[in-house]
């Protein structure tokens, strides 16, 4: 069995093999498996693979004297393959749709991993992350009724099988205990279960697992949020003016060779006026790491006549261009999603000496408006309980420093806030929680049911807040930084 | 005794016989288990409408049953074998990701 160091190593190997073990991706809020053909294909592969590879050697080295329920390895392989496939679908198409081609690709990643590392480590890691989900919920709730536990109703709604194997194993290993009250049976953690939970939580934190878990949770949420742009327009109607202002401020001239980063579906390229400004004598290359966004941008492009615009799927931290390729390299609302120092170094590299590097991005919010404090109180309280309240948005000075460190000089910056309107509770909560991802770290360790209840409560509280405060009081300025400089 | 035939139409030459609890397709009666009958009955009552997996489980097995969705899926698959000409590419009993299931009338 793997020790703490071994588990961390396996996680890093799984990441390198680009295998995603995020069982909720296979089913959260989706209520169904893949198309029957794809499901059967994956499930039969998982069964066959488990049957042929679960040798005595694997049983002993990975499970020692712990019994292995017969369905466990197949479920582990099925869920690993399906969450890897869903994550690939998200990266490549921006949807969660998995067909047989993607299913085959996911399988080959896993087979490659098993050939070099064996089946055991994958099964062990899968077991640990599922125990984390169950034990986290048991710690949060104290106890869970047997039926809700077995069907995963409160903590693992994505499963479509019963957790009876896990319960039997957990009781046998001394992690879970059962009790009877009010003519129901309940599951709780034992002392030893709690110790084990704390230990795996520490190992998973140190391995970087939670950081990825966060973005994988966001994948499933964001994909269910289909009307982002429409709602964003309603909540911050002035955001589009900010883009046009930025275009003038950076002083983009017709005929320039421009690289746009994090272009999304093209709100700056098209609606923001970049394509028109640069014109037919110039050239725009627009990139985004999401293939789905690039696809949407290309379909917008096909409806318009801008032959000087090209869309490419690429990451800001690793630009596929020669040194000194562009007159200006810029983007809106992308820098806070990147590894900032790496991205700026790359941006400076591909800009010709004397060319412009610029960004327009949101800054760290201050939550000091009374209506906001009241509305989001549970999350603000949770944030203040953390040793280090988390906020992924940067401060203006931090961005200035990063530009300087990348060798970009003659820096000019301006703060241009635009208002966010908190008028429709349902849309506000959807936009800030699912779309923007505000407070996602504070919510990540809540079991699924608690997270859902919290969101329902936020909408409910929002309705009260909207009654209590006038529309004028329910406006919050979103600080936005414009920054530009000269490439070395 | 009520001998009046009670049929719920499932499209062309296909119906659910409420008296015998059989699926009758091209005049051939196909016997159903109680669970299969209840599932198909619920779907037939909501023909061309989406029903969730949880609704189906509650209707077929009863409130509070310890039934996971994989058990529902295997019953749905059996129903597909009875209803569909190609059960792997269903056209009558469709899965709707995010919504559940929908039953469409058979077309011959």
Tens digit of pLDDT for each residue in A179-217? 999 999 999 999 999 999 999 999 999 998 988 887 777
Residue A68 CB coordination number (10 Å): 17
High-pLDDT (> 90) share of chain A, %: 68
Give the β-pairing of A351-362 and A409-415.
unpaired
Q: Residue A481 has which token pair?
A: 């930084």
Q: Which one has a higher pLDDT value, A432 or A220? A: A432
Contact A150 B80 (CB under 8 A): no
Contact by Cβ (8 Å): A14, A106: no
Say yes or no to pLDDT of A380 above 50: yes
φ/ψ of residue A424, rounded to 5: -115, 105
Residue with tokens 């919290």: A454
Do strands B28-31 and B22-25 pair parallel, antiparallel, or not at all (unpaired)? antiparallel
Q: Are the Cβ atoms of B97 and A31 closer than 8 angstroms? A: yes
Closest Cβ opposite residue A36 in set B64, B90, B97: B90
| Per-residue pLDDT at A388 | 46
Strands, E assignment, A320-427 = 326-332, 351-362, 409-415, 418-421
- Whether B77 shows a pLDDT value over 70: the answer reads yes
Region of poorest pLDDT, from A83-97, A297-311, A404-418: A83-97
Contact A160 B69 (CB under 8 A): yes
Percent of chain A with pLDDT over 70: 94
Q: How many CB pairs under 8 A join A and B?
A: 48
Name the nearest CA neighbour of A36 among B23, B83, B86, B59: B86
Interface residues of B toward A, Cβ cutoff 8 Å, are: 52-53, 64, 66-70, 73, 77, 80, 87-90, 95-100
Q: Which residue of A has its CA nearest to B69?
A: A160
| Whether the predicted interface score ipTM is above 0.85 | no
The whole-angstrom distance between A383's CA and the closest CA on chain B is 32
Listed in sequence order, the residues at least 6 apart from B21 whose beta carbon sits closer than 8 Å to its beta carbon are: B31, B32, B34, B37
- Tens digits of residue pLDDT in A299-336: 999 988 899 999 999 989 999 999 999 999 999 989 98
Nearest by CB to residue B64, choosing from A30, A37, A147, is A147
A167 DSSP β-pair partners: none
Q: B68 and A32 in contact by Cβ < 8 A?
A: no
- State the best of B50, B61, B65, B69 to mutate against chain A, taking most chain A CBs within 10 Å: B69
DSSP 3-state percent helix, strand, coil across chain A (nearest 5): 55, 15, 30
Quick count: other Cβ atoms within 10 Å of Cβ A38? 21
Kindly tell me if the per-residue pLDDT of A68 is higher than 80: yes
Name the 3-class secondary structure at B88.
Answer: coil
- Report d(CA A152, CA A171) in Å as an integer: 17
Nearest CA in chain A to B64: A147
Subunit contact B73:A29, Cβ cutoff 8 A:
no
> Which member of A32, A96, A162 has the closest CB to residue B66?
A162
Provide the H-helix boundaries in B46-102. 53-61, 69-83
Let me know if A381 is exposed, middle or buried by CB neighbors in 10 A (0-12, 13-18, 19+).
Answer: exposed
- Interface of chain A toward chain B, CB-CB under 8 angstroms: 29-33, 35-37, 40, 96, 147, 150-151, 159-162, 224
Query: Which chain A residues are Cβ-neighbours of B66 within 8 angstroms?
Result: 147, 150-151, 162
CB contacts of B67 in chain A (<8 Å) are 151
Chain B residues closer than 8 Å to A36 by CB? 77, 80, 87-90, 95
Dig out the tokens for A135 from the structure: 């034990």
């Amino acid at each position: 069995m793997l020790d703490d160091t071994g588990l961390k190593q396996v996680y890093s190997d799984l990441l390198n093999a680009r295998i995603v073990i995020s069982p909720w991706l296979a089913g959260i809020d989706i209520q169904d498996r893949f198309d029957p053909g794809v499901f059967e294909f994956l499930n039969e592969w998982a069964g066959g693979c488990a049957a042929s590879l679960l040798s005595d050697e694997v049983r002993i080295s990975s499970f020692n004297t712990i019994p292995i329920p017969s369905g466990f390895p197949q479920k582990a392989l099925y869920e690993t393959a399906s969450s890897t496939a869903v994550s690939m679908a998200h990266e490549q198409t921006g949807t969660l749709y998995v067909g047989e081609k993607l299913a085959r690709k996911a399988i080959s990643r896993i087979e490659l991993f098993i050939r070099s590392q064996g089946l055991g480590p994958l099964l062990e890691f899968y077991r640990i992350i599922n125990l984390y989900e169950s034990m986290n919920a048991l710690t949060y709730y104290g106890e869970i009724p047997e039926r809700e536990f077995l069907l995963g109703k409160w903590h693992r709604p994505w499963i479509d099988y019963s957790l009876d194997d896990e319960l039997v194993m957990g009781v046998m290993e001394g992690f879970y205990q059962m009790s009877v009250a009010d003519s129901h049976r309940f599951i709780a953690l034992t002392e030893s279960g709690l110790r084990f939970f704390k230990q795996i939580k520490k190992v998973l934190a140190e391995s970087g697992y939670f950081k990825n878990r966060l973005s994988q949770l966001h994948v499933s949420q964001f994909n269910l949020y289909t009307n982002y742009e429409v709602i964003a327009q309603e909540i911050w109607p002035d955001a589009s003016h900010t883009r046009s202002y930025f275009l003038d401020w950076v002083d983009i001239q017709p005929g320039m060779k421009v690289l746009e980063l994090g272009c999304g579906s093209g709100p700056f390229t098209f609606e923001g006026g970049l394509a028109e400004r640069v014109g037919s004598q110039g050239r725009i290359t627009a990139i985004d790491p999401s293939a789905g966004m690039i696809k949407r941008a290309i379909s917008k492009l096909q409806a318009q006549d801008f032959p000087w615009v090209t869309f490419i799927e690429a990451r800001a931290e690793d630009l596929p261009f020669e040194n000194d390729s562009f007159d200006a390299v810029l983007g809106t609302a992308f820098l806070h999603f990147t590894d900032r120092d790496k991205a700026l170094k790359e941006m400076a590299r591909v800009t010709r000496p004397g060319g412009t590097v610029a960004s327009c991005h949101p800054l760290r919010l201050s939550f000091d408006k009374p209506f906001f404090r009241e509305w989001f109180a549970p999350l603000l309280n949770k944030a203040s309980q953390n040793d280090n309240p988390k906020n992924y948005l940067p401060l203006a000075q931090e961005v200035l420093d990063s530009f300087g460190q990348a060798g970009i000089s003659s820096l000019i910056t301006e703060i241009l806030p635009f208002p966010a309107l908190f008028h429709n509770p349902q849309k506000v909560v959807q936009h800030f929680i699912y779309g923007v991802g505000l407070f996602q770290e504070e919510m990540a360790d809540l079991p699924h049911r608690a997270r859902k209840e919290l969101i329902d409560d936020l909408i409910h509280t929002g309705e009260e807040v909207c009654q209590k405060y006038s529309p004028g009081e329910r406006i919050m300025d979103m600080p936005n930084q414009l920054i530009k400089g000269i490439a070395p | 005794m009520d001998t009046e035939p009670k049929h719920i139409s499932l499209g062309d030459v296909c119906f659910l016989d409420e008296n015998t609890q059989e699926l009758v397709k091209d005049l051939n009666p196909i016997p159903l288990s109680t669970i299969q009958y209840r599932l198909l009955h619920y779907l037939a009552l909501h023909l061309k409408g989406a029903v969730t997996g949880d609704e189906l489980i509650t209707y077929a097995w009863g409130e509070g049953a310890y039934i996971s969705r994989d058990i529902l899926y295997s019953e749905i698959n059996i129903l597909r074998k009875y209803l569909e000409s190609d059960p792997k590419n269903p056209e009558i009993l469709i899965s709707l990701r995010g919504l559940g299931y929908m039953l469409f009338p058979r077309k011959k």
